[in-house]
Amino acid sequence: MGDEMKYRRFGRMGWDVSEIGYGMWGMAGWTGSEDQESLAALQKFVDLGGNFFDTAWAYGDGHSEELLGKILRANSRKRLFTATKIPPKNRRWPSQRDFSLDDCFPPEYIEEYVHKSLKNIGSDTLDLMQFHTWEDGWLDDDRLAESIQKMRASGKVGAVGISSNRWEPANGIRAVRSGLIDAVQVIYNIFDQNPEDELFPACREHDVAVIARVPFDEGTLTGTLTLNSTWPEGDWRGTYFVEENLRASVARAEALRPLLTADMNMPAMALRFILNNRDVSTIIPGMRKIRNVEANVAASDRGALPRGRHEELRKHRWDRVPTKWSQ
């Protein structure tokens, strides 16, 4: 298996980021995580040329950020890019249209969380700070632009981005067009192709970086879910893969099987599908195991899918809207 990581430009920041980045939620928020295993997987990723990490204060109330800090210190000679997120003050995911800036991201609270994240990571600066929920309506409050400018001017934060709510890619287009942000993190995978409609063209026009998250649809596109899948008590996936979602997700994943080949399993196909899109700067699969890191870096080595296969997969687009269980 080849393991040459490739790199892409991170929007107007111009950073050369690994096209496979590291999603750090699972290691501090999902059941079954072991810090030693996670740290070994993170180190393997760095050894294989990975340089972009996505974490958040909310992933274990700072625990995932602390793990990132350990990896930064163990690799201090390497240029590693750190992205984290400010949790909404009301701790409600996703945000709702009637949540105000004061409910979620008042100015003094933004500053407080920049400091908290820097402390957890053990660093004086971080590359990208993202808002962990987003409403385009907040742009009407001038204090938001002031807070963003203040964050940059402090020298503590290099770039500012938003992480859009699940299945709401259009709720972020105004932010991209405002010129205030440098990056958008959005769900983009074989099923969720709708960011291509309007969000990606806006990002292209404004040179805003795209971070493609949830490439495996939280597990569906690893091809391992069955109608009998269950999760331990307290694992959020148990509340996401409710019967209605599990049934539909398994059926959609099964429909992809005829497109697999002897040398390409479902996770590899899922990542390579995303690589076909040049608007994407980096993809951030969630990983805790070394074998998954190796497999996902190998997908970068193999590169984008041949055109015919990509066209076939485009037909599996699945347009979804937020529901009471989607979170």
Ligand X SMILES: NC(=O)c1ccc[n+]([C@@H]2O[C@H](COP(=O)([O-])OP(=O)(O)OC[C@H]3O[C@@H](n4cnc5c(N)ncnc54)[C@H](OP(=O)(O)O)[C@@H]3O)[C@@H](O)[C@H]2O)c1
Residues that bind ligand X (CB under 6 A): 23-26, 54, 85, 132, 163, 185, 213-219, 222, 267, 284-289, 292, 295-296
* Nearest residue (CB) to ligand X, 15 versus 57: 57
Residue 7 main-chain phi, psi, to 5 deg: -125, 155
Look-up: residue for tokens 């608007």?
279
Closest CB to ligand X among residues 155, 161: 161
- What are the tokens at 134? 């987003």
Q: How far is the CB of 313 from ligand X (least distance, A)?
A: 16
Contact 189, 163 (CB under 8 A): no
Smallest separation, CB 238 to ligand X (Å): 13
Closest-CB residue for ligand X? 286
| Minimum distance of ligand X from residue 23's CB (angstroms) | 3
Which of 127/218 has CB closer to ligand X? 218
The long-range contacts involving 312-318, CB below 8 angstroms and separated by at least 24 positions, are: 312/259, 313/190, 313/256, 313/259, 313/269, 313/273, 314/193, 316/190, 316/191, 316/252, 316/255, 316/256, 317/190, 317/191, 317/193, 317/194, 318/191, 318/192, 318/252
Rounded to whole angstroms, how far apart are CA atoms 259 and 261? 7
Shortest distance, position 227 Cβ to ligand X, whole Å: 18
Please, are residues 126 and 143 in contact by the beta-carbon 8 Å criterion? Answer: no
For the bound state, the minimum distance from the C-beta of residue 193 to ligand X, rounded and expressed in Å, comes to 15
